[in-house]
A and B are shown apart, each in its own frame.
Chain A
Amino acid sequence: MKASMTRLIDLRLGLFLAALFAVTVLAPLATTLSSSSPFNLPSYLIPLMGKYLCYALLAVALDLCWGYAGILSLGHGAFFALGGYAMGMHLMREIGARGVYANPELPDFMVFLSYDHLPWFWWGFGNFGFAAVMALAVPGLLAFVFGWFAFRSRVSGVYLSIITQALTFALLLAFFRNEMGFGGNNGLTDFRDVLGFSLSAPSTRIALFVLTAICLAACILIARAITISKAGKVLVAVRDAESRTRFLGYRVESYSVFVFTISAMMAGLAGALYVPQVGIINPSEFAPANSIEIVVWVALGGRGTLVGAAIGALVVVALKSWLTATFPDLWLFALGGLFILVTLALPNGLLGLLDRFRRAKPAPKEVPA
């Protein structure tokens, strides 16, 4: 009986959460050390680490719908960007009269484009709570409506992947247009503060970093709770044998829409946390290549593991930071190479590799030469 019970926090997740907790506590402490100390962490690295954690959260979101329910979304960058725009709109409103044009009502780009009043879809974004809700609600609603139509029409597999890619590309083109009212090509930037705290202050940066770590931990726990529930088992059942699931009486589209929506909201949350730490949101976040990169993170870390997805994101993004700084021309080759490597050699990602080693150990025959 006991063997059938799945624990919410297993060894893998426990280790990950412990490591996350340690980094979250130690990194801010390390910034306070004197610069001569070998453990000193320059404070500019804090928002960079926060950004990495946002990517990890985004990877967890994709893993929930791809790894478990088999919905390979090639447009998760869109949900991330929409969450980011929602937060960016609030940060723009919070600049107030301190902009270049000193207009208390309109953000700079609107003054520049000769708007005479705030467009209706910017109403309410002056309020942080409203913007925070929108950062989850807008991606969630889009995913719900999109998923409802797609899954009800039984669009799945490659076709679904292609239309999610089309979705993010369409949004990319739309947000590039100045007429959309989201700052066009330049996007939203020049943020000053959030809830009255200066975004450039080290303490604000630390707070945002810690908040991101908390959100990552919370989302990974929520995702884990979903996947070990009976509903999570139904999702895996849909992935493995969709028609069997239907003939058991489960309405597959309801489950798919549910997980797609939750996943999109997590992606939106990641975007909302990302923007104040990076200081800009522009249409390039909708670029199809971004969404494909998320897939690479999850595939590298290990699909259907949650923790693996987060680790995959951290590894690839760290690699990207290093490669684009040292060998800028190599990055795209490295990304492509990673994708091929994972597909050919690591079908279960890095975590799958660890599992294989762990299982191989007790069996003496399988000791590598």
Chain B
Amino acid sequence: MTAQLYLDGVTRSFDGFKAINNLALSVDKGELRAVIGPNGAGKTTMMDIITGKTRPDGGEVLWNMDTDLTRLDEARVARLGIGRKFQKPTVFETHTVEDNIRLSLKAPRGVFASLFHRSTKAEETRVTELMDQIRLTHLRFEDAANLSHGQKQWLEIGMLLAQEPQLLLVDEPAAGMTDAETMETAELLKSIAGERTVIVVEHDMDFVRALDCRVTVLHQGSVLAEGSLDYVSGRDDVIEVYLGR
């Protein structure tokens, strides 16, 4: 199977500090991958580089082995089918829950396409389905600002799904969630993987365990270890930089 996302030799420094240092990562289509690492390991910068927010100083970032992501801006990358969930839940607070989903639905993104857009039956059905999937149907007409933290996290995941991305980059989805919500979120992400590729950045070890997938440990901007959670958490160097604290 060929890699859907392939990074090699990626480097990026900020004011002399190497946030990403010769990073190599390969994620297969349909895979669920967890990325862990201490603060400052470069997890968010890695996401920024993949999604076109930050340009690397050097190295390759390839999509389906043929598209160079380093040349594209955020909007282009998103339109290729890469969706991103932020660490802090970021939704459109003054829009209703359903409008948040509607704006995210896969559709032409140009100004004039949006200006003359008419909602279709298929779109409405999709909105209803997604509302069910993220369990916010009862809050459909509520402003997103009135949602709880966990509900916003779910809404943002729903917005991601509405984009119908091939790859989801999910930054700390369990932050601020209750234990029950955390486990539900893990189940949701596992159910999405397979059909779509999912990369989860996470701190919460219980959550990572629940994901039950291959784990990449980042440290000082490069990969320290990769393998099952049991394998990486058994390694001395990983324990030293991260787990042992």
Partner of B111, one of A3, A244, A246, A258: A258
A230 touches B74 (CB 8 A): no
B109 contacts across to A, CB distance below 8 A: 248-251
User: How many angstroms from the CA of A233 to the CA of B105 in the assembled complex?
Assistant: 13
Our pick among A229, A236, A254 for the contact of B110 (Cβ within 8 Å) is A254
Cβ contacts under 8 Å, A314 to chain B: none
0 or 1 for each of A226-261: is its CB under 8 Å from B? (1 = yes)? 100111011011001101101111111011001000
- Asked if residues A240 and B93 are in contact (CB atoms below 8 Å), the reply is yes
Contacts of A248 in B (CB 8 A): 78, 103-104, 109, 159, 163
Q: How far is the CA of A263 from the CA of B114 in the complex (A)?
A: 18
Contact B78 A244 (CB under 8 A): no
CB distance from B101 to the nearest CB of A (A): 11
B98 in contact (CB, < 8 A): yes
Is B91 a contact of A241 with CB atoms below 8 Å?
Answer: yes
CB-CB nearest in chain B for A304:
B94
Question: Within 8 Å CB of A254, what residues of B?
Answer: 110-111
Among candidates B74, B95, B124, residue contacting A246 with C-beta atoms closer than 8 Å: B74
Q: Which of B17-25, B37-45, B79-87, B177-185 contacts A (4 or more CB under 8 A)?
A: B79-87
A230–B115 touching, CB < 8 Å: yes
Taking a contact as CB atoms under 8 Å apart, the answer to whether B117 and A237 are in contact is no
Given contacts A3-B141, A244-B86, whether A230 and B78 have CB atoms under 8 Å apart is no
- Is B92 part of the binding interface, using a Cβ–Cβ cutoff of 8 Å? yes
- Complex CA gap A246/B116 in Å reads 20
A11 on the B face (CB < 8 A): no
A4 within 8 A of B: yes
Q: Would you give 23 A-B contacts (Cβ < 8 Å), ordered by A?
A: A4-B96, A4-B98, A229-B116, A230-B103, A230-B114, A231-B112, A233-B95, A233-B99, A234-B103, A236-B94, A240-B93, A241-B90, A241-B92, A243-B53, A244-B86, A244-B91, A244-B159, A246-B75, A247-B78, A248-B103, A249-B109, A252-B75, A255-B114
Q: B99, A226: Cβ atoms under 8 Å? A: no
Tell me the A197-253 residues at the B interface (CB within 8 Å): 226, 229-231, 233-234, 236-237, 240-241, 243-244, 246-252
- Measured in the bound complex, the distance between the Cα atoms of B101 and A244 in whole Å is 12
Which residues of A does B touch, CB under 8 Å?
A: 1, 3-4, 226, 229-231, 233-234, 236-237, 240-241, 243-244, 246-252, 254-255, 258
Contacts of B103 in A (CB 8 A): 230, 233-234, 237, 248
Given A234-B103, A241-B91, verify A249-B114 contact (CB < 8 Å). no
B51 on interface, CB distance cutoff 8 Å? yes
Q: How far is the CB of B94 from chain A (nearest CB, A)?
A: 6
- Contacting B117 at CB < 8 Å: which of A1, A226, A230? A230
Which residues of chain A are near B99, meaning CB under 8 Å? 4, 233
Distance in angstroms between the alpha carbons of A229 and B141 in the assembled complex: 17
A267 to B79, CA, bound (A): 35
Q: State A251–B52 Cα separation when bound (angstroms).
A: 13
